[in-house]
Structure 1
Amino acid sequence: MSQDAAAGQTGVVPLLTVVVPAYDAAAYLHRALDPLVAFAAAHLGAIEVVVVDDGSNDGTGALADAYAVQAPEVVRVIHQRNAGHGGAINAGVAAATGRYLKVLDADDWLDSLVLVEVLAELARREAQGGIDLLVTDFTHVRDGRGDRVVRFDSVFPARRLIGWEQTARFARRQYLMMHAVIFRTALLRRSGLSLPEHTFYVDSLYVLTALAHTRRIVYLPVSLYRYVIGRAGQSVEADTMLRRVDQQLRVTRLALAMLPDPRDVVSGAVPVRLYGAMMHYVEALCVVTSATLSRGGTRAHLAQRQAFWAEVQAESPWLHARLRRTLFGASSNLPGRAGSRVTTLAYHAARRVVGFS
């Protein structure tokens, strides 16, 4: 449905669509939806919530439907056959009617007080012609170890409309993960976003696909997203990541293919700082993927790791050399058993840096 069609039905185009992909999330979906429904009751027409029940086997679909009955002007539910996280995001983006879009995983939540400030900023910028990307800080909620806020104040000037040329370099712990970004819905569609189905770890592809098209940026130094780490069964658990390493490899290869041609950077068609941000992200994916294979340690795992780096070198010698020059890149590709031990240490460091632990 187009935004104009939605306005014709309701009279109001929401400023923000929150897409909630949900699979077997009945135990914690309330944590994501309760704050949004309460917020929407006090700010009618500001947001819509699209819950995508991705073929759940528990009570997720029924619970989501109950929220839609409770707040029909706010919550819509899409029931679909299981297509994985990427398929659920695709469905949510296709159904969104808001000017801007935020993806919220079903086991996380948004800070309602901060959301007030975020929406006020989006409304102000929309009145001035709109933006492509709103960046906010986010918080790792780590069971038993205290929360940790990822801030971007050293990268982006705060509360200003800027382009990539006005940004600084990202530090090791600073990655524009899905939790940090709100994209213009029209930009997401214009980017051709189509995430692979039945594949984990597609959040990075969501970000990179849209990021390549961003030029008008605003950063708010507030922590909107609460990202829960440590829940049993999460896809980012170390053992789970090892079992799904083939999916990691697939996503990392797709991410590598998304990097702009360096010639477009030289010509000015792609901003240098945008290219740097994308490279920074892809480097982390390469490190985590390579180090996960090293942690597996079997002959098959190590052969996959060697083949991965050989593939990178064959397709882009320049990129391979750049990755090998970095501390994490070099340590994730050391040969032999001694190298494997060093890579295991790099693996744990990389997980902390990227935010998987």
Structure 2
Amino acid sequence: MKLLTAAIPCYNSAAYMRKAIESILVGGEDVEIIIVNDGSKDETAEIASEYEKRYPTIVKAVNQENGGHGSAVNTGLKNATGMYYKVVDSDDWLDEEALLNVLKVLKEMVTEGQYVDMFIANYVYEKVHENKQKVINYTSALPQHKVFTWDEVGQFQQGKFMLMHSVIYRTELLRECKLELPKHTFYVDNIFVYQPLRYVKTMYYMNVDLYRYFIGRDDQSITEANMIKRIDQQLRVNKIMIDSADVMSIESEKLQRYMIKYLGIIMTVSSVYLIKEGSEESLQKRDDLWKYLEDKDSELSKKVSAGVLGTTMKFKSKAGHSIVKMGYSISKKIFKFG
């Protein structure tokens, strides 16, 4: 069995996917790389096949009809044989030295019979065209160099929540929680991180800058224009997150608090873009979203409303615009567009 499966969802990724693949190959036989060609119309399939032929014991190429990023993540998970599962987007890459250090620690823990549910490492926003980098670490919130539980977790700073880039899940845990992301939907990475959390009992944090998150292409899903254009997909993700966990029944107070804050951030992001779009239809969608949460769990709705910008996201008057700008600022810090 492989130690780590790295799934690379690819759609028309021929121009940049090699960097992602090469950065993971350094892991040698400890890693399995599953390249999922999601119905690409360029040379993605040929490149994937080329790597599979060159590295038959490491690389697996899987072709499927276009189903979107979530569908490709699902396919990677179905085909994974590694003990741990990591998603690497085709325009991103892993730091090779950091990957080797992560694999070393994972191997040591497995040898000792310690199979943590979630492994966390830092990620780096790479604004390549501006030659700027921003490291997101968790040193203020998470213990280092030890296996720990939610009881030992501290406060996460604003804009430093765990994203898909920072987490490596135990593969069987993802299967046990029946994770299946929706097809043809952007922003599903929030479901990927959020839904399995209530199944996570043990964690390990390593303060290394593993994941390099490329920022700068105009067609990226996290640009403001695309967030507004695809707001219905953001809302779909938001509602799936609401439905995916009975948050108020979670025994761990710290995990419950974290999931409330995480959901609050996503509710804020959804509300901000609906308000910025500004039409009566969008404002109605905002109201419907908050009602959806309230109907699902009134206690959870109160907790979410009390945090972040909560109730202010429901303002209907123009006087609330400054509050919306604050919410927009938070969104920019989370998604690093602009």
TM more than 0.5? yes
- Alignment partners' CA distance in 2, 1:98 and 1:50: 11
Q: How far apart are the structure 2 equivalents of 1:300 and 1:205?
A: 25
Aligned pair in 2 of structure 1 residues 14, 351: CA closer, same or farther (>3 Å)?
same
Aligned residues: 336
Give me the whole-angstrom Cα distance separating, in 1, the residues matched to 2:247 and 2:330.
Answer: 30
Please state how far the C-alpha of 1:325 moved relative to its aligned partner.
2.2
The equivalences for 1:78-117 within 5 A come to 78-117=62-101
CA RMSD of aligned residues (A): 1.6
Instruction: Describe the superposition over 1:40-65 as per-residue Cα deviations: whole angstroms up to 9, x where unpaired.
Output: 4xx3x211100000001111111111
TM-score normalised to the size of structure 2?
A: 0.95
Give the whole-Å Cα distance in 2 for the aligned partners of 1:330 and 1:353.
Answer: 20
Q: Which AA in structure 1 matches 2:70?
A: G
Map residues 196-215 of structure 1 onto 2, 5 A cutoff.
196-215=182-201
Partner of 2:110: 126
In the alignment, is residue 138 of structure 1 matched against residue 150 of structure 2?
no
- The alignment partner of 2:217 has SS state of coil
1:305 aligns with 2:286: yes
How far apart, in 2, do the equivalents of 1:75 and 1:126 lie? 23
Question: 1:167-222, CA deviations, whole angstroms, 9 ceiling, x for partnerless residues?
Answer: 11222121110001011111111111111111111111111122221111111011
The one of 311, 315, 337 equivalent to 2:318 is 337
The whole-number CA distance in structure 2 between the counterparts of 1:174 and 1:259 is 22
Local SS of the residue matching 2:292: helix
Shift of 1:126: 0.8
Contact (CA 8 Å) 1:259, 1:278: kept in 2 or not? no
Matched with 1:9 is none
Query: What SS does the aligned partner of 2:237 have?
Result: helix
Q: Is the 8 A contact 1:295 1:340 kept in 2?
A: no
Which of 173, 184, 193 is the equivalent residue of 1:187? 173
Question: How far, CA to CA, are the matches of 2:224 and 2:179 in structure 1?
Answer: 28
One-letter code aligned to 2:15: A
Give the superposition deviation at 1:124: 1.1
Counterparts of 2:334 and 2:226, CA distance in 1: 18
* Aligned-residue offset at 1:338: 2.9
Does the Cα contact within 8 Å between 1:259 and 1:279 map onto a contact in 2? no
Q: What is the aligned-residue identity percentage?
A: 32
In the alignment, structure 1 segments of 5+ residues that lack a partner are: 1-12
Unaligned runs of 5+ in 2: none
Match of 1:25 in 2: 13
Does the Cα contact within 8 Å between 1:162 and 1:218 map onto a contact in 2? yes
Distance in 1 (alpha carbons) for counterparts of 2:236 and 2:228: 13
Aligned equivalents of 1:113, 1:231: Cα separation in 2: 26
The alignment partner of 1:106 has SS state of coil
